[in-house]
Structure 1
Amino acid sequence: MDINLEECYQVLEVDDSAEVEDIEKAYFRIVGECLKRGEKERIETVKNAYQLLINHRKSQQEEESAQGQRSYEQEVTNNVARALRGMSLMIKVEAFVDHLEIKIRGSKPRQKATILNLIYQSLKLSDILQHTLVKVVAQKTVKTHFWQEDINFTPNRNNQVYSNDYLLLQEAEKTLNTYVLPIAGAIALAFSFAEVLTWFIGMWVHEFGHATIAWFSGYRAMITFGATITTLEKSNFVYFGILFLLGLTFYTGWKEKKNSPMIVAVILIILQFIFTWIVSYSDYVTLMAFGGIGGEFYLSTLLIIAFYWRLPEKFYWDFWRFGSVAIGAITFFSSFTKWHNIKVGRDNIPWGTLWGGRGDSGGDLNILNDYSGWSANQIIGTYVSLSNICLMVIIGFYLFHLFKSRPELWVKIRQLFR
């Protein structure tokens, strides 16, 4: 017997909003009633109505599901497209039962980290994601690809985590790279109001400036409170001892596949050779006098930028780098402001020594003036220039590592000018 949908609803005593479960319940209830009453002919009609409604409702659900999936895919596509705007990429999103696949066309292999980071950030900040596994594929052709990477999210969207740490820095490390220098600057500014404490910290950096010149020139040097004591004769023990330590640093960096310590070690080995065997004694005296205040700039700069270096694990640098950047920032800010104030006449040149006073001819600047023939203006200009160079190095390192850990920032900046 032919029966239409409207009659099916009437036979099963349900309305057109009934779900599959409602239809099944109605079917078994009516069949049970028919069996009790002995209405076997009606059971056949009920079965036909049930089968027709079930097929119709399942077909509707499949269509709704397909439409919902298309809507979901389009929503993700729009979200990712906004994140990658300006990169001229084609994007296709497909949703599967166990994962979401995002296909990218038109990218370059070197853009991998940037693309992954932008996609990760866009999905993390949205509430549209329905999958915990997202596969990102950078296609070369329809059948081949440059690379494929998985992004795993936890079910709790308030605590999403990217699992591939070797591609993207941990969120904590990103935050550090973003805010460590501004925070260190704020600390340095706060310490500037505690002049005695700032002087005490800077004094040790100052003396290390003298000592490093002596050590790298092959002389023994001992740092004391407010002074650095050096020998008059060069020491092979000092030269080869430092050379051994630098070689060990290079080897450890090579073993752990970390470039920063290897590069620094090579540069310092070259400088050590030049200072020890090529620089004359008169130039050494000048460098020693210059190295105190000079060290306040270049050593503090090294302490700051070294925060971003990945040194060998035996150095425990992940712990010590926080103290390093704070000491560097405090010393650099104090010396930078002092010498710029001296330049404009707001402060005086610090002639003399801590123990002998301003009239002590053995002071660093006195030696530069009397022994090396530097004029007061030359002294001021040299240290101000050095401070400006160091500041540019610090800012350059900060911006480089900021964009390295957050490549999406560069894309967003480019998007502003499109």
Structure 2
Amino acid sequence: MDNLTLEQCYQILNLTEQPTLEELDHHYYKLIGEKLKSGNKDEINNLKLAYSQLREYCQNKQDNQVEKETKKYQHSLTNSLNQDLKNIGMRVKVQSFPNHLEVIIKNVKISKKLLTTKLIYDSLNHILKDTEQDVIISSIGTKNNLIWQEKIKICTGIYAHNAGKYNTEILLKEAEIKTNTYGLPIAFLIAFAINFIEPLAWFISMWVHEFGHATVAWFSGYRAMVTFAGTIISFDRSLFVYFGILILIGLTFYSGWKEQKKTTMIVCIILAIMQFILTWKTSYSTYRMLLYFGGIGGEFYLSTLLIIAFYWRLPEKFYWEFWRIFALVIGATTFWGNFTKWHRISKGKADIPWGTFWGGRGDSGGDLNVLNNEVGWSANQIINTYNTLGFICFLVIIGTYLYFLWKSNPVFRLQISRYFS
């Protein structure tokens, strides 16, 4: 202090211990009032000097304490976040300001913005208690350039009811994660229930069965019309069918290219190659085998495609966000019924479904009858083939489910990393 020591300030102001700024102000103005009432104006200047110097001292000390507490708080938040994120190779630095927190991360691309934001949002929701706090997340490049920035609001404890007002993208991502997590299990529970109602389960799987025949015919260049429990197929190849299907594939590829949906583009390329091989490189005898195999085979692979397509993002013209729920339930119902049926057949608990719906078990035109009598497949070969196909499709479904669960859910990845660390 320039003129007075700390002890002198305390003595002049009649203080025995360090007050808070509020207490000091209150005490000072009380003393000034008393001096003015007593007419003792000579001591007022000393009071003013002592007050100003002591107040400056207390203010500095309080500021230092606040700065110390802020650094401690920042350090604690940084450690807690990094502890949560260490297993996925992400490190952050937290800075605290009067009205918000800033979380700084290094070199996170904008393509990972939403997942990164979701992960930090979830971590802070566990760390911060009873708060409604603005948080700015900033990704900084190697040259300290800003890559992207996102503002979120953490609402926990008594403020948790306000969370729905903010963070729209985060909440949509949360909804997507829940859909990816629970959609498939719920669909199989529905499928399990539907398969107890045999006529309904048969009606659903029958259409998939017939489309199994039709897709083989269409991709082989033959006209085919799906009807109730039957598919009418022409005997001659048609260029109209070939180029019609090819144009549809091309239009879908173009829509996928415009909307940058890589999965759609890849699938279109695969379908075009498959169509070319089936139409121009496959013998008629092989086509007939695939045609009759494709009924029950379609119940496996088409239902699997319907299930895993639930996780794809198809072009907007497909309105897939709406239809994918129905596709998932239809696929799960057909797959579950077929998978369990052929498992029972392999165990001798059910009979091979010879014949046709219209002609009965003795109809030699049935899919399996043709495979057995004309193609030369034995009963065991038929059973083993469909069971193997079912097992492969089952692995594809589980693999797809786990992949998208891993890809879309950073919290799941974090929990798995923690479990194996």
TM-score, length-normalised on structure 2?
0.88
377-386 or 27-36: bigger deviation = 27-36
Q: How far, CA to CA, are the matches of 2:314 and 2:197 in structure 1? A: 32
SS of the aligned residue for 2:236 comes to strand
Aligned to 1:213: 216
Pairing 1:83–2:88 present: no
Aligned to 1:156: 155
Cα distance, 1:137 vs structure 2 = 4.1
Check the 8 A contact 1:103/1:139 in 2, yes or no.
no
Aligned to 1:397: 400
Matched ranges for 1:190-269 at <5 A: 190-269=193-272
Q: How far, CA to CA, are the matches of 1:324 and 1:180 in structure 2? A: 12
Check the 8 A contact 1:99/1:135 in 2, yes or no.
no
Q: Which digits, 9 at most, give the CA deviation of each residue in 1:33-86, with x for residues without a partner?
A: 433432211212321232133112212211221121022112112211211233
Q: Which digits, 9 at most, give the CA deviation of each residue in 1:203-246, with x for residues without a partner?
A: 11111111111111122211111111112222222222111111
Q: Which residue identity lines up with residue 151 of structure 2 in the other structure? A: N
Q: How far, CA to CA, are the matches of 1:314 and 1:147 in structure 2? A: 36
Check the 8 A contact 1:83/1:118 in 2, yes or no.
no
Query: Cα gap change, 1:310/1:342 in structure 2, threshold over 3 Å: closer, same or farther?
Result: same
SS of the aligned residue for 1:345 comes to coil
360-369 or 19-28: bigger deviation = 19-28
Cα distance, 1:118 vs structure 2 = 3.6
Aligned to 1:59: 60
Pairing 1:179–2:182 present: yes
Check the 8 A contact 1:169/1:405 in 2, yes or no.
no
Check the 8 A contact 2:137/2:149 in 1, yes or no.
yes
Cα distance, 1:116 vs structure 2 = 5.0
Q: How far, CA to CA, are the matches of 2:320 and 2:18 in structure 1? A: 66
Matched ranges for 1:304-343 at <5 A: 304-343=307-346
Q: Which runs of 5+ in 1 are unaligned?
A: none
Aligned to 2:275: 272
Q: How far, CA to CA, are the matches of 1:411 and 1:154 in structure 2? A: 22
Q: Which digits, 9 at most, give the CA deviation of each residue in 1:136-183, with x for residues without a partner?
A: 44664xxx3597443422253432765777xx9711111111111111
Query: Cα gap change, 1:17/1:221 in structure 2, threshold over 3 Å: closer, same or farther?
Result: farther
Alignment: residue pair count: 412
Aligned to 1:386: 389
SS of the aligned residue for 2:24 comes to helix
Q: How far, CA to CA, are the matches of 1:175 and 1:390 in structure 2? A: 24
Check the 8 A contact 2:195/2:201 in 1, yes or no.
yes
Q: Which digits, 9 at most, give the CA deviation of each residue in 1:305-354, with x for residues without a partner?
A: 00111111111001100111111001000000001111111111000000
Pairing 1:135–2:137 present: yes
Aligned to 1:120: 121
Pairing 1:22–2:31 present: no
Aligned to 1:45: 46
47-56 or 379-388: bigger deviation = 47-56
Q: How far, CA to CA, are the matches of 2:98 and 2:68 in structure 1? A: 15
Check the 8 A contact 1:109/1:147 in 2, yes or no.
no
Check the 8 A contact 2:133/2:153 in 1, yes or no.
no
Cα distance, 1:100 vs structure 2 = 3.4
Check the 8 A contact 2:110/2:148 in 1, yes or no.
no
Q: How far, CA to CA, are the matches of 1:96 and 1:102 in structure 2? A: 11
Cα distance, 1:271 vs structure 2 = 1.4
32-41 or 384-393: bigger deviation = 32-41
Q: Which residue identity lines up with residue 152 of structure 1 in the other structure? A: K
Matched ranges for 1:2-21 at <5 A: 5=6, 8=9, 12=13, 16=17, 18-21=19-22
Q: How far, CA to CA, are the matches of 1:45 and 1:145 in structure 2? A: 52
Q: Which residue identity lines up with residue 85 of structure 2 in the other structure? A: L
SS of the aligned residue for 2:42 comes to helix
Q: How far, CA to CA, are the matches of 2:154 and 2:281 in structure 1? A: 64
Q: Percent identity?
A: 49
Q: How far, CA to CA, are the matches of 2:200 and 2:206 in structure 1? A: 10
Cα distance, 1:104 vs structure 2 = 5.1
Aligned to 2:286: 283
Cα distance, 1:5 vs structure 2 = 5.0
SS of the aligned residue for 1:153 comes to strand
Q: How far, CA to CA, are the matches of 1:139 and 1:381 in structure 2? A: 56
Q: How far, CA to CA, are the matches of 2:176 and 2:399 in structure 1? A: 19
Query: Cα gap change, 1:89/1:352 in structure 2, threshold over 3 Å: closer, same or farther?
Result: closer
SS of the aligned residue for 2:335 comes to helix
Check the 8 A contact 1:85/1:415 in 2, yes or no.
no
Matched ranges for 1:405-416 at <5 A: 405-416=408-419
Query: Cα gap change, 1:115/1:315 in structure 2, threshold over 3 Å: closer, same or farther?
Result: closer
Q: How far, CA to CA, are the matches of 1:91 and 1:256 in structure 2? A: 33
TM-score, length-normalised on structure 1?
0.89
Q: Which runs of 5+ in 2 are unaligned?
A: none
RMSD: 2.9
Q: How far, CA to CA, are the matches of 1:88 and 1:387 in structure 2? A: 38
Query: Cα gap change, 1:65/1:234 in structure 2, threshold over 3 Å: closer, same or farther?
Result: same
SS of the aligned residue for 1:223 comes to strand
Aligned to 2:347: 344
SS of the aligned residue for 1:229 comes to strand
SS of the aligned residue for 1:309 comes to coil
Query: Cα gap change, 1:285/1:351 in structure 2, threshold over 3 Å: closer, same or farther?
Result: same
Check the 8 A contact 1:101/1:137 in 2, yes or no.
no
Check the 8 A contact 1:120/1:162 in 2, yes or no.
no
SS of the aligned residue for 1:186 comes to helix
